Structure 1
Amino acid sequence: MEKLPAQMTVVGISKPGGPEVLVPETRSVPKPGPDEILIKVHAAGVNRPDVAQRSGAYPPPPGASDLPGLEVAGEVVALGSGAAKHKIGDKVMSLVAGGGYAQYCIAQDAQAMTVPQALSMTQAGAIPETLMTVWHNVFERGALQPGETLLIHGGSSGIGTMAIQLAKAFGSKVIVTVGSQHKADACLKLGADHAINYKTRDFVAETRKATNDIGANVILDMVGGDYIERNYDAACIDGRVVQIAFLGGPKATVNFAKLMVKRLHHTGSTLRPRSNADKAAMVRAIEANVMPLLREGRIKPLMDSTFPLEKAADAHRRMETSEHIGKIVLTV
């Protein structure tokens, strides 16, 4: 077992602001507590909540690291008391409550998953946050069934590209909205049945056309704003709208009679504040249902770009252009 250094390089948030506030600093290597493991980070995924945290809009939950970073992949180098799922030397990928932008990161033993041989460590770093978000919201909350239609807004995002692959693997039909032909092509190549450029076409009309005027069974929405009422129009009878973000704003004027007439469910969730028990249960479901697909190489994260840890600011700049297709990952 290698001797752990006392100090490590991390990327902290010097003050709320633009990408330039992400600054490398030196900190003590953390020690895992009960039921925790310490991961030597090889790769850390970059996600929209990191951008929100950096700008001051998404504070970490109580007790979590103040460093950004919600998912990592790497090697287990220390175990806290009671950690029995993984052992030192194991290659794992894990959701974390924060602290991913670092050379070492604490994770909950129960939330870490073994990295399948079909994936590189960089790909593994792009998986946990997106996969757990998609699994919980599309399949647990949205209850998507084989043969049903899923409409994904932001189809070319990290979450969108994972949702396309998972929904297709489980036998559903997929429609996505995207902002360019380039993004549409990428989604169709991944397996989406229809890609709608929301800048030039009305997604409600196109979704109804693609479903023989029935509508989508499940809608995964990260936009909110004026999409809320349009989602009600695009959904089928007994449709489920699942909200995972509000990039277009959390407030809207909506005719809620449509909820009653169509018997719609409008739900939503956010992952970070959930209890460790909740997250561990999602991990167990993923290990049972999705891990075989990852091991067989049938599902892989679509990779947009990688940046060294010290260039985290550039990774955020890339995300804020919204030109990325798939996942942005920091390599350590």
Structure 2
Amino acid sequence: MLAVHFDKPGGPENLYLKEVAKPSPGEGEVLLKVAASALNRADLLQCTLSLQRQGQYAPPPGASNILGLEASGHVAEQGPGCQGHWKIGDPAMVLLPSGGQAQYVTVPEGLLMPIPEGLTMPQAAAIPEAWLTAFQLLHLLGNVQAGDSVLIHAGASGVGTAAIQLTRMAGAIPLVTAGSQHKLQMAEKLGAAAGFNYKEEDFSEATLKFSKGAGVNLILDCIGGSYWEKNVNCLALDGRWVLYGLMGGADISGPLFSKLLFKRGSLITSLLRSRDKKYKQMLVKAFTEQILPHFSTGNPQRLLPVLDRVYPITEIQEAHAYMETNKNVGKIVLELPH
């Protein structure tokens, strides 16, 4: 099969398609013929821990070295011990530890999700990582409640665009930060009550002004170090601050603990990729039951994945280079040859 490959860490120019061995499904696994796979920051240089293509963010033990944390496609084969929930040819989308940017990928059957009616394969590929992350941050970790105000950093990202919609669905009030007027306008179209351009204003002051001095009940933060003081400043009393990335660095200098203690604030940290299979299966099950029906055509509260661009996988270098410009609103998706 064809798969995205790189021989040495570095820039997008090192990526190319290579013929590699097609995997075989093991116990309780399904082989998915991939139709589309979305890019994630974990595939690039700029994200959380510095990263897989740069050779500093190895996949979890036992995972494939092929990039790609989510995919959509059709069930091609079932391994021994499968429970019979899926049939050959069924369309499905899946959360992966790696391996999605290839023509085939194996996956535990408990991580497969049905594709909602009315969605294309590229749209479906844009759901698993971003939407499961946003769902986890808001509900499992952030305990979002109706009426809460939620500050979402990187509001035009895949996770950000999902979190805006899920916050609205929970009856809470989404506020976002982003780095351009275009991104803020897109976020507001999705339901953000307000947006703040972090390049042009102090989002902490703007948030406090919007909330009439009360601050926000919940912060979803993929930035980390460079935002800590502004985050604490605009956190409401008893607020929850969920940290899931370090795009703004890992170092803190200053009285974080005393400021957080004064607010009685909770600092919660999370990574999805390194979670074990049991946790991911629980998350997939909860998301499939509670959220997935809202993606279907005709649902009055319809949720939609936001796609910025779709590239053929042969243009893998261009897709990665575009993501590194940080101009995308929503997801960048790769299409595999039929």
TM-score, reference length from structure 2:
0.94
Which range is displaced more, 89-98 or 296-305?
A: 296-305
Aligned to 1:112: 112
Aligned to 1:258: 259
- Gaps spanning 5+ residues in structure 2: where? 45-50
The aligned runs of 1:1-332 (5 Å cut-off) are 8-51=1-44, 52-84=51-83, 85-255=85-255, 256-295=257-296, 296=299, 298-332=302-336
Q: Per-residue deviation at 1:24?
A: 0.6
Opposite residue 75 of structure 1, the aligned amino acid is: H
Opposite residue 276 of structure 2, the aligned amino acid is: S
Opposite residue 280 of structure 1, the aligned amino acid is: Q
- Give 3-state SS (helix, strand or coil) of 2:20's partner: strand
Q: Per-residue deviation at 1:139?
A: 1.3
Q: Per-residue deviation at 1:267?
A: 1.1
Q: Per-residue deviation at 1:258?
A: 1.5
Aligned alpha-carbon RMSD (Å): 1.0
Q: Contact (CA 8 Å) 2:178, 2:196: kept in 1 or not?
A: yes
Which range is displaced more, 80-89 or 63-72?
A: 80-89
Runs of 4+, deviation exceeding 2 Å: none
Aligned to 1:4: none
Q: Per-residue deviation at 1:32?
A: 0.4
Opposite residue 324 of structure 2, the aligned amino acid is: E
Q: Per-residue deviation at 1:142?
A: 0.7
User: How far, CA to CA, are the matches of 2:8 and 2:258 in structure 1?
Assistant: 44
Aligned to 1:5: none
Q: Percent identity?
A: 42
TM-score, reference length from structure 1:
0.96
Q: Could you list the per-position Cα deviations for residues 12-39 of structure 1 after superposition, in whole angstroms to 9, with x for gaps in the alignment?
A: 1221000111111001111000111110
Q: Per-residue deviation at 1:209?
A: 1.1
User: How far, CA to CA, are the matches of 2:252 and 2:6 in structure 1?
Assistant: 32
- Give 3-state SS (helix, strand or coil) of 1:248's partner: coil
Q: Could you list the per-position Cα deviations for residues 29-67 of structure 1 after superposition, in whole angstroms to 9, with x for gaps in the alignment?
A: 110001111100010010000112111121111100000
Q: Per-residue deviation at 1:254?
A: 3.4
User: How far, CA to CA, are the matches of 2:254 and 2:79 in structure 1?
Assistant: 49
- Gaps spanning 5+ residues in structure 1: where? 1-7
- Give 3-state SS (helix, strand or coil) of 2:155's partner: coil
User: How far, CA to CA, are the matches of 1:200 and 1:72 in structure 2?
Assistant: 36
User: How far, CA to CA, are the matches of 1:308 and 1:25 in structure 2?
Assistant: 15
User: How far, CA to CA, are the matches of 2:210 and 2:87 in structure 1?
Assistant: 49
